[in-house]
Each structure stands twice: as structure tokens, then as C-alpha cells.
Amino acid sequence: MSAYDRGVLRSKILGLGSYVPERVVTNEEIAYLDERHVRHETKRTETTDEWIRARTGIEQRRYVPNDESTTCSDLAKWASERALADAGCSASEVDCIILATLSPDIHFPGTAVFLQSRLGIDGEGGCPCFDIRQQCSGFLYALQMADNFVRGGQYKRVLVVGSELHSHSLDYSTRGRDVMVLFGDAAGAVVVGPTETDDPREGILYTKLGADGSGAMDLHLKVFDSKKMPHIQYNEKWGVPETMYPQMNGKKVFLNAVRAMNLSTRAALEATGLTWNDVDWFVPHQANLRINEAVVHYGEIPPEKVLNSIQLYGNTTAATIPLTLDHHRKEGRVKKGDLVVSSVFGAGFTWGAAVFRV
């Protein structure tokens, strides 16, 4: 009798994949770009490579082609196909999609249904599709749902995706420089399914999430405001809706991120009874290298076990965790079955930690 039949189901990550667009935008180049990502002779934004590297650790990021050909669900599709191939399963076996993004294709419907169509598994009998709107914490929020869906016996092949097309909604001017330099485009995905083992140190061991709505407006992007009539307001000076760019109280986000990621990482170790000797890798959300260095310092985490990728990709929000894992797997560091502790923090405020074998 299989674990599935006995009702002692555990879930595991069956496959991992990621996708980044080809265009590399360096810190030097970003100062010269306009909102269509065209490089000008003179600077559009007062910023420097030194400032961005010193304050964030970011050296470059990836952007989709500037021909309006690419959507968030395209990035999601390309990452999903790689995760499915890695899992050795076909798209037709997926019985649930959970997609995390803060940069959806359109306001509604959610982006997971567009991904379903792009994967060619739409139509009558199509699987359920969920959108998760928890920003930088979105991937772990989605992973917790997938873990519980699988352990509850509801679904057997859950496609969990974090996908972001940030570069079309940033303010390419000195006014928006604090946020604009941080973000990049990318997607990452995993396939979650049941495992035969009931060993508590296999598969997905632990997930815990949290949120504090009092921080909601410290990092937000309105686009529209439903109390206004009409719900999108134009700013005469800017010539665009005044609500179309992200707004951030950077210092408050920074301090809360360090605190929440430190506490949630400690709680994960305590709940699972693991020490850093048992763990192969710590994979924090990639918002700012200084945030991660502080979490590693306060958490007394062995630096050689920490995986970052922000230097190359910037903050790719819901995609950072699978992207960072896949990047370091391609580099030959991460191996199948390695034990990972991950912690995240994002707009909302939202946060979480998870322990899983990759």
C-alpha cells in the first residue's frame, strides 16, 4: 500500500526551473534608460554604479525585450516548462497551478489562467488556477498552499510559480530611482507532488507564514484607487496616472525585513530541531544584499551556506527563491536532495520561512 493510500502523505519538490530574459542591464546603463528601455546619450536618472552596489549589492538585472512582446505569464511558462522537464512530468499531468506575482498580465483575471493556456492545458476539465498576491513572500505562500494541498490528498502535481515583469512599471527618472534600480524580470517554478516516504526529514519539512497589514502602505503600487471616480487619476504634471509607480519607505522596509527574516529563520530551526550543521543552504529573499548580510550576522548563519543571486538579477520578487536555487544548481553548488532553509519578507508586510529538500 502506498503512502498516498495510507493517508500519511508528505509532499516534496519534484522539479525546479527558472527563466531570465537575455537582456542584461548594468547599473551603468540603467541611468541612461527611458521608460521604453531606450538608452540615451545623457543621463535620465541621477544614480551611479557605486551607489547601487554599495547600498544594495546589485550589479545588473535582466529585462524582457522592449518590443511589447512578453508578458508575466510568458516568463512563467518558460520557467514552468523547465521545472516540469526536471520533474519528468508533462504539463497535462499538472492538476493545480499556483502563481505568485505582483506584476500580473492584467488586473483581472489572474495570471495563473493565462499560464494554463500558454502551457496548453486549458479547456474543459482544466485544472484550478490560483493567483497569490503576497509580493516578495509570494513563493513561500504558494509553497505552503501546495504542500497542504498535496498532503491533504487534493492534488498530485501542483505547479508553483513566481513570475515578475517589473521593468515595464518602474519610474525611469531621479524621482523613482530608490525603487527603479532594485528590480529585474525573471520567473522560477517548482513542481510539488506526493512522496512515498513518511520520514519527517524528507520533502517539504516546514512552512510558516505571517503578515502585518499596518505596513501595507510602506511599500505599495496603487495603479488605481477604487474609492476614486474614475478609479485611475491622471497627474497633469507627469502626464501619466499618478498612481502607476511603486512607492516605498525604504528604511522601514529594510529594518522590518531584517527583523522578520531573522525571527522566522530562528523559528524554523527551532520547530524542526535542525542546526546549521544539518542544513545545506540558507536561501533568503533577494531584496538587498545588506538585508541578507544582516540576517546572516544576527542569525549566526555560516556564511558559506548562504546563497544569493541579487548581484546578477536584482530583486525579482516572487521569483527570487526558485531562481536563486536554480542559479546555484547550474553553478554546480546545489544538488538534488539538499536541505534548504529559506526566509522571505515583502510588501504587506508579509513574511515566512520554509525548510525543504530541493
- Which residues are catalytically annotated? 136, 285, 315
DSSP state of 193: E
Candidates 11, 18, 47, 103; binder of ligand ACO (CB under 6 A) is 47
Return the number of the residue (151 or 220) whose C-beta is nearest ligand ACO. 220
According to the binding rule CB under 6 A, does residue 260 interact with ligand ACO? no
Which residue(s) pair with 195 in the sheet? 10
Candidates 177, 222, 327, 329; binder of ligand ACO (CB under 6 A) is 177
Alpha carbons 239 and 257: distance in angstroms, whole number: 34
Contact between 323 and 316 under an 8 Å Cβ cutoff? The reply is yes
Contacts for 297-306 with beta carbons within 8 Å, 24 or more apart?
Answer: 298/258, 298/262, 299/262, 299/265, 299/266, 300/276, 301/265, 301/276, 302/276, 305/276, 305/279, 305/280, 305/281, 306/281, 306/282
According to the binding rule CB under 6 A, does residue 136 interact with ligand ACO? yes
Alpha carbons 74 and 183: distance in angstroms, whole number: 18
Stretch that binds ligand ACO, among 91-99, 175-183, 235-243, 303-311 (CB under 6 A): 175-183
Return the number of the residue (52 or 119) whose C-beta is nearest ligand ACO. 52
Binding residues among 261-320 for ligand ACO as defined by CB under 6 A: 287-288, 291, 315, 317
Size of the residue set binding ligand ACO (CB under 6 A): 24
Instruction: Please classify residue 107 by burial: count the beta carbons closer than 10 Å to its beta carbon, then call 0-12 exposed, 13-18 middle and 19+ buried.
Output: exposed
Candidates 219, 258, 341, 354; binder of ligand ACO (CB under 6 A) is 219
- Where on the chain is the footprint of ligand ACO (CB under 6 A)? 47, 51-52, 55-56, 102, 135-136, 177-178, 181, 219, 250-251, 253-254, 257, 287-288, 291, 315, 317, 346-347
